[in-house]
Structure 1
């Protein structure tokens, strides 16, 4: 092995850039640890981080989702001794790639608590750790869109789609791609102290501890097929969310009895009608919070969420955040381009129908 690769006095951080993924999967964590290393040296601390982004394949090439190829200096095959922090950045689930990944999975199977202080995954990298058996019986997090699939594919893994990252023993898993930055900052704080981590976060113009939970980003209702009863009722419901709705009223729109409607609705959507309506109200409220400046009181009325206290409780239950915090985090960046005025007209039109 090239002796320049080895820095025994530093914590070796190996980031495996899985092919076909977004650049932020590996560039985000790499930037955190590289900036931490620079700041540590400025502080006279010379046992910081030695960061290497490596390929899973022996050809040392990584295809990115951006359409260009990254040439890594090293591959996992070059690493046979101990690692401080191993990060699996993303997952290459393409059928055509599986044969070439056999060597990588064989290598990953040799990694354990004796030769690797901590093993982590970014986004879909949780599937890689699960496939390698590293997540067996452990708590784990992945992107909210993939959580259900991870749980079904690996039922021995306790999947939680809510936090930005999860730690279970020496294994760390994170949510969507930007969550790799959250996790890496937490690791820097764990290794040194909060002040070091805060400096890196400020350098990257990022939160040290991002407020909220991953639930804020998820979609509460799936997209149903056109013949699904959820989709059949959704358009009508969207126009009547400001009204007090009951199951019999919704059932009558489909010329069904209340009992039969409830049975069919639960079977085809996986939830009772009342829960579906509540989620639809929250989704409508999210859109108003993102795109308009209307008051929370008026917004609660338009979406049928009752008063401010009731709407706040409903948001906390579904999104783990309050309406006001959600607005601050997700309000539109197009506020000055006329979109607010257009949406305000829609709100006024809806109000006039009452």
Structure 2
């Protein structure tokens, strides 16, 4: 029996959030040899829907199809859906075995209450806003994609393809997922825990206090940076600082400092010949093993592998 995969869109959705994963599942259906999937482009009421690039698509009504997986795409319209639309999406999601979002589609799932108490990700630019708007969500803004139970979320734009490959692998196994990646000429596949590109270096917190603390951390990476020191720079108590930092960046202070050190180290790992131990010490890691674990979490590979890849 084929699995029915539904892609929920709305006016002002991001076209690539739809087309990338949609094509991945279409290729998987062909590559599996047994028509593994039936694909549906859906809207709440089955109307014509306009994307952010102006293309207008025909859709099926959300309630007309029994789904195995519901994928909510992202786009500017994701935060403009009304209460009636959210209620319909929530009702359909509760009847679906697997639910996912691409990019800011996570805001739709969060508004439906489907991310409460769950770990989730979104485009790095909107991670802090997702955390502020929905404090019950455990936002991991550094991930390419995340799975928590039957709910999957992904980062922005092309990360939807990584999400689709992971879902295909869960359904049909790694061989089919790998064949789809080869057909699409993409990596098979970036690990879900791999970091979104330079997210922390691009983040600009709203308040001067948190900006000052981040700037201080960047300037003092080679030194121990306990949270008490950062809180003092921000003129906040430790508890106030922790809450404000997480709210404005989507990261804990410890994770942010680890990321800053790893990003500083990566350029040197790729472009210089000095030893890994020397680089680790020069950016503030207490030992090379800590840097290796940070690289695995953030980039999906240890420093030595990243150096070899850069040389090739």
Identify whether the pair has TM-score above 0.5, normalized to the shorter chain: yes
Trace 1:24-63 onto structure 2 (pairs within 5 A).
Answer: 24-40=16-32, 43=33, 45-46=34-35, 48-55=36-43, 59-63=47-51
| Cα offsets for 1:233-270 (capped at 9, x unmatched) | 959975x87xx6589xxxxxxxxxxx999723463994
Aligned residues: 296
From 89, 92, 105, give the equivalent of 2:73: 89
Q: Residues of 2 paired with 1:185 and 1:60: CA distance? A: 28
Pairing 1:109–2:90 present: yes
Pairing 1:267–2:236 present: yes
Aligned-pair CA distance for 1:33: 0.7
Q: Residues of 2 paired with 1:233 and 1:148: CA distance? A: 15
Question: Structure 1 residues 232 and 261, CA, compared in 2 at 3 Å: closer, same or farther?
Answer: closer
Unmatched runs of 5 consecutive residues or more in structure 2? 246-252
* Larger RCO of the pair (alpha carbons < 8 Å, separation 6+): 2
Trace 1:24-173 onto structure 2 (pairs within 5 A).
Answer: 24-40=16-32, 43=33, 45-46=34-35, 48-55=36-43, 59-64=47-52, 68-76=53-61, 79-93=63-77, 97-98=80-81, 101-114=82-95, 116-173=96-153
Q: Which residue of 2 aligns with 1:252?
A: none
| Cα offsets for 1:9-30 (capped at 9, x unmatched) | 6432221234445432111110
From 187, 193, 201, give the equivalent of 1:207: 187
Unmatched runs of 5 consecutive residues or more in structure 1? 1-8, 248-258, 336-354
Question: Structure 1 residues 103 and 284, CA, compared in 2 at 3 Å: closer, same or farther?
Answer: same
Q: Looking at CA atoms only, which structure, 1 or 2, has the larger radius of gyration?
A: 1
Aligned-pair CA distance for 1:71: 1.6
From 295, 299, 311, give the equivalent of 2:274: 295
Conserved? CA contact 1:85–1:118, under 8 Å: yes
TM-score of the superposed pair, with normalisation by structure 2:
0.72
Q: What secondary structure sits across from 2:59 in the alignment?
A: coil
- CA RMSD after TM alignment: 4.2
Aligned-pair CA distance for 1:319: 6.4
Question: Structure 1 residues 309 and 21, CA, compared in 2 at 3 Å: closer, same or farther?
Answer: same
TM-score of the superposed pair, with normalisation by structure 1:
0.65
Q: What secondary structure sits across from 1:223 in the alignment?
A: coil
Aligned-pair CA distance for 1:181: 1.6
Q: What secondary structure sits across from 1:110 in the alignment?
A: helix
Q: Residues of 2 paired with 1:150 and 1:218: CA distance? A: 19
